[in-house]
Amino acid sequence: MLQGGKGDRDSFSSKFGVLAALAGSAIGLGNIWRFPYVVGQNGGGAFLLVYILFIAAIGIPVMMSEFVIGRSAQLNPVGAFKKIAPGTKWHLVGMLGVVSVFIIFSFYTVVAGWTLEYVIQSVRWILFPEKFGFASMDNAALTQFFSNHYESFTSGLWRPIIWFFVMMLLTGYIVISGVKNGIEKVAKILMPIFLVILLILVTRSVTLGGGREGLVFLFKPDFTQIKEEPFRIILEALGQAFFSLSIGMGTLITYGSYIKKKENLASTAVSVVAADTFVAILAGIAIFPAVFAFGIDPADGPELVYKTLPVIFQNMAGGLIWAFMFFVLLCFAAVTSTISMLEVIVAYLSEQLNMSRKKATLLSMISVGFLGTLCTVSPDVFAIFNASPDLMLPLGGFFIVTFIGWIFSRDKSSKELSSDGTRNIGYHKLFMFLVKFVAPLAIAFLFALGVYSKVITLFPSIG
């Protein structure tokens, strides 16, 4: 295991371990919690169409670029740029990634802590159902009950803070255990189980009376809302694509540095993107039929999942048991993402500042603990941090693909993608075209439009 940047560097032990860890990083609250409410707030099917377009045309090239940088340097984001572009300012791109993940990790772990609250509450609901009077509640009453619980919990002080720190400690314990024995082992066990539970939930949701309208909302594009606010919605789709795939913030450079040379980076990227998009759409299928069946507003925002899923469980045989299982697995799906974020910070501190892995993890946890506490007690800070992926991640992605397309040599990228010439990379010309022209120009254009839209929203007189 890597200690202070010295000795043999830890790595993933198998192809399945690579895919499980990378999918675990991408698949988490970004898919189950953030994706449904962002889709709900931005017009449903039309937003989904734009999102998938960005995933294919921009997400895959950026992810492959991060893998190339990470594996070629086998260092953290800052160290990687210093190694492959010495004497330049490109290491600041790596620092942007570290800062981005630091901010995102702070609010993300707060939301991850909410899953622990629902794990505990689901146990109470199983043991004492008569206390809550579930048997006498109709769907409208159930929706109101869970809505009230969400609001009372998130507006409180100590319970959200306690769950935030519990989640932080769990994440830190796994990261201290290392890449192979911590991150990979957890992901290989939990991600397949999580997928099975999600598929069961989808099956129940689509069979609810009145659920068809939710599927229409998700899959039938209605461009009315996009026509009204095209720039803002396009930026949110781009930001969600980056957030969901964990690209643009150094996570995949860090994880890429742990991928062995024999692994196929292109197929790994495509597999991770496909799995992430599949789970995000499954989450939408699980949520929106229930949203319309139970009369919930699809634009309800961050609380959408926490108000909708419990009602679905209450309409299933043995629903409270499934609720417990789902929130346990949602918690661990969140953990597979939080550990990837913490790993970025730990890798930076251990390799650039020559810290032991244990000291780097503890320092990271203390620092993030401060910001996370601010997010917990201040809705304004939480809102600002939650909006940060829409701006910071596309900016990081722009510089990453620009570096690969114009600075990092074609021969070096060819060598890395072909695993030192051992595999055919007939797609390399297309890849280079995408990272030199399509991805950076598209990101820059959409980013500028999105920023303009946000400025106009804040200062209408400018328009």
- In CATH, what number is assigned to the domain containing residue 170? 1.10.4160
Nearest CA-CA partner of 52 in 167, 218, 199: 218
Poorest-pLDDT segment among 174-183, 321-330, 402-411, 426-435: 174-183
Asked if the structure places residue 451 within a domain, the reply is yes
Q: Which of 27-31, 352-356, 358-362 has the lowest mean pLDDT?
A: 27-31
Q: Is 5 left (phi over 0), alpha (psi -120 to 50) or beta?
A: left
Question: What pLDDT sits at residue 12?
Answer: 65
70 close to 256: Cβ distance less than 8 angstroms: yes
Does residue 163 form part of some domain? yes
Q: What is the pLDDT of residue 52?
A: 94
Is pLDDT at 305 greater than 90 in this prediction? no
Amino acid identity of residue 413, one-letter, is S
Instruction: Give the list of residues 6+ apart from residue 132 with CB closer than 8 angstroms, or none.
Output: 125, 145
Whether 2 is covered by a domain: the verdict is no
Q: Of 239, 279, 392, 298, which is closest to residue 42 (Cα–Cα)?
A: 298
Count of domains forming the chain: 1
Number of Cβ within 10 Å of residue 223's Cβ equals 15
- Segment 20-52, tens digit of pLDDT: 667 767 777 778 888 898 899 888 999 999 999
Q: What is the pLDDT of residue 462?
A: 61
Which residue matches tokens 């800070």? 381
Q: Which residues of 386-411 are buried (b: 16+ CB within 10 A; e: fewer)?
A: bebbbbbbbbbbbbbbbbbbeebeee
Output the DSSP codes for 85-128: STTSSTHHHHHHHHHHHHHHHHHHHHHHHHHHHHHHHHHHHHH-
- In tens, the pLDDT along 384-395 reads 887 888 788 889
In a domain, 250, yes or no: yes
Q: Does residue 123 form part of some domain? A: yes
**pLDDT for position 30:** 79
> Distance between alpha carbon 325 and the CA centroid of its chain, in Å?
21
Residue 201 confidence class, pLDDT cut points 50, 70, 90: confident
Residue 11: what pLDDT? 63
Residue 81 covered by a domain:
yes
What phi and psi values does residue 3 have, to the nearest 5 degrees? -130, 110
Which pLDDT belongs to residue 448? 83
Q: Predicted confidence band at 425 (pLDDT cuts at 50, 70, 90)?
A: very high
**Cβ 39 vs Cβ 283: under 8 Å:** no
> How far apart are alpha carbons 28 and 30 in whole angstroms?
5
Q: Could you list the residue range(s) of the whole structural domain that residue 390 is in?
A: 15-462
Q: Could you count the other beta carbons within 10 Å of the beta carbon of residue 220?
A: 11
Q: What is the pLDDT of residue 1?
A: 37
* CA 182 to each of CA 17, 188, 237, 345, 377: distance values in angstroms, whole numbers, following the listed order: 11, 10, 32, 16, 31
Torsion angle in degrees (nearest 10) through CA of 188, 192, 198, 202: 150
CB 446 within 8 A of CB 236: no
| Inside any domain, residue 4 | no
**Residue 276 to residue 237: CA distance in whole angstroms:** 15
Tokens encoding 73: 């340097």
Indicate if the alpha-carbon torsion angle 401, 402, 406, 412 is positive or negative.
Answer: negative
Q: Has residue 10 been placed in a domain? A: no
The answer to whether the CB of 203 falls within 8 A of the CB of 286 is no
- Rounded to 5°, angle at Cα 148 from 146 and 152: 120
